[in-house]
Structures are given as C-alpha cells and as structure tokens.
Chain A
Amino acid sequence: MATENKKVLMKGNEAVGEAAIRAGCQCYFAYPITPQTETPEYLSRRMEEENLVFLQAESEVAAINMVFGAAAAGVRVMTSSSSPGMSLKQEGISYIACAEMPCVIINVVRGGPGLGNIEASQADYFQSTRGGGHGDYRCIVLAPNSVQESYDMTVQAFDLADYYRMPVFIQSDGIIGQLVEPFVMGPYTPMFDELPPKEWALTGCAGREPNVIRTLFLNPPDGLEKQNVRLYEKYDRIEAEQQWYEDYNCDGAEVVIIAYGCASRIARSAIKTHNGNGSKVGMFRPKTLWPWPKKRLIEIAENNPKVKFLVIEMSMGQMIEDVYISLMDIVPKSRIAFYGIGGGWHPTPDSVYEKIQEVLAE
C-alpha cells in the first residue's frame, strides 16, 4: 500500500476507486450506469493490478448481494451506482443493515424519478437518509463536495463501516463524480485506534462454534424487536458521535445558506460576490446527511436569533425537512426559505445571488 502524499489529477469517480484500494478494499462489485461508470472502469484495471476481486455483476441486485457475501466473508467491500441502480440495491441494503455487515456504497446521484436523466442531482436524499429499503434501519451518509473529499471520505467510510458494523454511503452526484480536480492522495490513516475484530465472519467453523449471518427473527417472538432496539441504540450512538459539517461566516450572518455537495460549491461562489457587497451571508454545509448535523445548526440559530435560513438543493426539497425538524422549536418556518431545482439541473451562482437578495429584502 502506497504511503506517500501524492498530488494527482483525477475524476471524482476515479478518486473514490483509488481511495477504496488505499483503504484496503478487497472486493468491488458493480453494474455500469451513467454518471458513475468511471468507477468500475477504473477499478477493473486497478483491482487486477493489485490482485483484488473485481466483478461486473449481472445487475445491481446481484452486485449488492455480492457485497453482502463478501462483507459476510470478512473483507472490506464496495459497490457503486447511480440512482436507478440504487433503487435496485435497496432490498440488499436492508438485509445488510439488519445483518450489520460493513460495506461502502457510492451513489453518484442523477435526476429522477424513473430513468430521469444523467445530469447531477440531489433527489436521492430521502432514499439514502430515510432507509430506502424496508424496515427500521439507518445508514451513515457522507456527502463530499470536491474530488479531495470524495477521496478522503471514501477512505473514512471503510473505517466507519467496520467500526459501527453497517453500510456507509458516499452521496456524490453527476458533477462531483465527473469533475476533474487536483487532490492530495494521502496514505491511509485510520480514523479509530482500534477496529472491532470480525469474529462473526464466515470462514468455515474450524476450531470454533459455527457463525450464522441471518436477518430472520421468528423465535423468540420478540427477537426482531430486540434487534430493532439494538440497532437503534447503535444509531443513537452514531448521532452523538458523527455529526460532520462545515460552517462558514455563520456568526452574525443575516442569512445562512444551508447546502451540501455540489449545491454548496455553487452557493459558495454566490456568497463571495455577496459579501463583497457589504451584507453578511454565511453557509452551513452538512458533510454527514445521516446523522444530520443538527447540534451545530441549532447553535447557529440560537446564537443569532434573527438569522434567516436559505436551503438550496438540487431537488424539489428533501433535506429541507431535516432543517425544519432540527429547528422546529426555535425558528419559525417563515424564516426558512427554499430554493431548489429538479430535473437534474443545478442553480447558478447568479440565481443563488438573486435568491439571497430576495430573502434579505423580505
């Protein structure tokens, strides 16, 4: 494994592939779909060079079940797809979440619903943060807004997955995935001092009791309920430990924009122009979409009782529900504005600038 700090130029979709290899990912399974196909293309070459497992599956359904199998076998494993393919993976993700198998799942989001289009979008926020598949479960969702973060977060995702024993998503989009940017390809630096040993892995039961990986809980009658409670205790712990965000210029701001991923970069350009003009606009950027970083947002609202919020999304409005939920006791809805674009289209710095003006004038 390379250990040097190397500055390289790559597409976001390739950076996540290289990150996986640096993080010790042993297996990668996927099915082609635009705008994420550079990841399987890149990994088909790199995994072979490194003597690792690359397999182009017959469908996203098969790919996610291969992920389930490899995770159960005890190794680091990843898959990637884009929105329509992610819908197909949801059955498997529900099983993987229930069985508490660590894995990394990249979603390079495109416009939907349906076949939608192949442009960048943020319309899978509900799907990623609310479950997507059936049953009571959560997945950690990391949202990069650059190629550097795509790389860094993918490496971290493997540690989070092993540490908490669960699927971890990278929620990218068609722009972040296709963007070519220089970034520093750092060595793998573990997030945690120690990761729990995979004593549950299926390796053949030589010298130990058999391991069983299952998601059916018929007996005793309260078995599933206990599993649900166990999972939720873990999710509560993650909510306390892993709320990631970036804030910029929020203290004393008149307007705080809330945006993640690609939308946050567009907003940032608009803010630059704005703050050049005298008024004060800040930005709060969630880096984890689940758990949603509400602690810091509440703090911002409390420190600044008159602040107006402007939520910007490349969707018809999905993350805004988490903003409402986080602020429901302290900020009236009338102080939370929304600017979103669906159809796989994105706001421009100019259109965001105009929207900021509107909010300031209200």
Chain B
Amino acid sequence: MKVLKTQPKSITTEGTKYCPGCGHGIVLRLIGEIVDELGLREKMILTAPVGCAVVLYDYITCDVIECPHGRAPAIGTALKRVHPDKFILIYQGDGDLAAIGAAEIIHAANRGENMSVLFVNNAIYGMTGGQMAPTTLIGQKTTTSPTGRCVKGMGKPIRVCELLSSLEETKYLERTSVHSARNINKTKAAIRKAFVNQINGIGFSLVEILSMCPVGWRLSPRDSQSFIEEQMTDYFPLGVYKDTD
C-alpha cells in the first residue's frame, strides 16, 4: 500500500467543529500542508477571526491571536511591524473582512503591509446562524433577508478582489474556490503563492476563497458545491486580479 497523503503535522488531530461539507475545513487542510512544506510553523503568527474559524488555535499548532471582529488586519500590521522576520497569516470571513472590518482591510492593503490574507467568502454569516453578509448574492435567502437579497436598500454583493485591486500597493490578489478537487488544487497554489510572496518581501497578498456553508445556505453539501459552481462564480469570477511580483 502506498501512502499518498497524511495529516499535516501542523494540524491537530482532534478534528474540527466545522459542519459537514463546510469549506473552512478544506482551507485549514491546505494551510496545514503549505505550512509544513514551507517549514513555517515555528515562524508564524496567525490571526483568528470572529466567525466559524474563531478557534483556529484549536486546529493549528502555532502562535495565534484571536482578534476582535474584523480587526485582524490592524493587529497583523502591528505584529509584522514588531516582528518583520516572522510570517503573519491573516484569516478572515466575509462578514469579518468585508463588513465590520472593511476599513481595516482597505488600509492594511493600501499601506502594502507585507502579510498574507486568506479571505474565506461563503456569502453568509455562518457563525451567527446564516444572516445576510456583504457578499450574499442577489436573491439569496438568509435569516435577515428572508425574501432574498434585493439591490434596492441592500446594495449589491461586494467584490473584494476587484475593490482592492485599485489600491496600488496590493501585490497579489486572486479569487479561487474549494467546491471541487480541481479548484482545491488551484486554491492551494494560490495560497502558496501568497505565502511565498510574504517570505520574499513582495508585499500585500490576498486570496479570496469561495467556500461552502451548507448549514447557513440551508443546502446539502452537494448542492452547496453546485451553488458555487453555478451561481457564486458567476458573480464572483475566479482568477488573478493582481500579480505584480
């Protein structure tokens, strides 16, 4: 028998509290693999968001700070200024980054902080039970948009990569997805690039990852994958938005 993959060493063995079919778990695994491959575990400081990934420190065995909702880019800025030689990983959800923390991410990006940001966009507030997020699609039903999000009064979903791409100090922006094996592989390559950029001192890198939230979406795990394939990627096109290395 040939061992193809093992559990990444930097990931704890207890398992996560993510729901079945959740995209966060896939992103976690990818982080673990890349952290192992690049030997980053003992050099890194991770910021945990407020959202379903809040207890990331239970899953990854590295130094972690749990941030107030949306403030990770400010905290990460200070961590990097104090420890320029350490690897700073910012992990945020869409409510965290694009709603309450919109100012912090825009200004960290604008300053060109040499950090790697993983932005997990599941178009919903997962942790609080499925409320509308700034990334919720038009027509998408949530507990606070029960008849579906409408443009009038709620605006259109925010496209973070496009928004940040106008800031000249952002160096690498890519949108990927974890709804299929092929896309997971692409996501891994993108995360890796964002990490390597920081190590090489390139500057601000962000990977926006479209991610399933079956529980918040009230869909089966399989239908959640289709929701990304058929609807999310339509409004949030996958691809590289900025690459200036």
Binding site for B on A (CB under 8 A): 26-27, 29, 53, 55, 57-59, 61-63, 65-70, 72-75, 77, 91-92, 95, 202-207, 210-216
Q: Are B78 and A210 in contact (CB under 8 A)?
A: no
Q: A58-B104, A203-B63, A205-B62 are in contact. Are A91 and B81 (CB under 8 A)?
A: no
Q: Are A65 and B103 in contact (CB under 8 A)?
A: no
Q: Is B68's CB within 8 Å of the partner chain A?
A: yes
Task: Determine the distance from Cα of A203 to Cα of B78 in the docked complex, in whole angstroms.
Answer: 13
Q: Is B28's CB within 8 Å of the partner chain A?
A: no
Most B CB atoms within 10 A — which of A72, A74, A216? A72
- B59 CB, min distance to chain A CBs, angstroms: 11
Q: Are B63 and A26 in contact (CB under 8 A)?
A: no
A-B residue pair count with CB separations less than 8 angstroms: 124
**Cβ 8 A contact of B78, one of A29, A95, A215, A216:** A29
Task: Chain B residues near A95: list those with CB within 8 A.
Answer: 68
Q: A205-B41, A210-B63 are in contact. Are A66 and B75 (CB under 8 A)?
A: yes
Nearest B residue to A70 by beta-carbon distance? B78
**Cβ 8 A contact of A210, one of B62, B68, B76, B82:** B62
Within 8 A of A (CB), among B199-240: none
A-B contact pairs, 9 of them (CB 8 A): A58-B107, A66-B75, A68-B68, A69-B75, A73-B79, A203-B63, A210-B57, A210-B62, A213-B65
Q: Are B75 and A68 in contact (CB under 8 A)?
A: yes
Task: Determine the distance from Cα of A62 to Cα of B67 in the docked complex, in whole angstroms.
Answer: 12
- A73 CB, min distance to chain B CBs, angstroms: 4
Task: Chain B residues near A62: list those with CB within 8 A.
Answer: 71, 74, 103-104, 107
Task: Chain B residues near A210: list those with CB within 8 A.
Answer: 57, 61-64
Task: Determine the distance from Cα of A213 to Cα of B81 in the docked complex, in whole angstroms.
Answer: 18
Q: Is B43's CB within 8 Å of the partner chain A?
A: yes
Task: Determine the distance from Cα of A70 to Cα of B74 in the docked complex, in whole angstroms.
Answer: 10
B 100-140 binary contact with A (CB < 8 Å = 1; else 0): 00011011000000000000000000000000000000000
Most A CB atoms within 10 A — which of B41, B61, B74, B107? B74
Q: Is B29's CB within 8 Å of the partner chain A?
A: no
**Cβ 8 A contact of A202, one of B54, B61, B63, B77:** B63
Task: Determine the distance from Cα of A352 to Cα of B71 in the docked complex, in whole angstroms.
Answer: 46
Task: Determine the distance from Cα of A77 to Cα of B75 in the docked complex, in whole angstroms.
Answer: 13
Q: Which 3 interchain pairs have the tightest Cβ spacing?
A: A69-B78, A69-B75, A73-B82
Nearest A residue to B63 by beta-carbon distance? A202
Q: Is B86's CB within 8 Å of the partner chain A?
A: yes
Most B CB atoms within 10 A — which of A26, A59, A70, A77? A70
Task: Chain A residues near B62: list those with CB within 8 A.
Answer: 204-205, 210
Q: Is B22's CB within 8 Å of the partner chain A?
A: no
Q: Are B103 and A212 in contact (CB under 8 A)?
A: no
**Cβ 8 A contact of B57, one of A61, A77, A212:** A212
Nearest B residue to A201 by beta-carbon distance? B63
Q: Are B81 and A203 in contact (CB under 8 A)?
A: no
Nearest A residue to B71 by beta-carbon distance? A65
Nearest B residue to A92 by beta-carbon distance? B68
Task: Chain A residues near B65: list those with CB within 8 A.
Answer: 68-69, 72, 202, 212-214
Task: Determine the distance from Cα of A206 to Cα of B43 in the docked complex, in whole angstroms.
Answer: 7
Q: Is B45's CB within 8 Å of the partner chain A?
A: yes
Task: Determine the distance from Cα of A66 to Cα of B68 in the docked complex, in whole angstroms.
Answer: 11
Task: Chain A residues near B36: list those with CB within 8 A.
Answer: none
Q: Are B43 and A204 in contact (CB under 8 A)?
A: yes
Q: A91-B68, A205-B63, A216-B66 are in contact. Are A70 and B43 (CB under 8 A)?
A: no
Q: Are B83 and A66 in contact (CB under 8 A)?
A: no
Task: Chain B residues near A67: list those with CB within 8 A.
Answer: 78
Q: Are B45 and A65 in contact (CB under 8 A)?
A: no
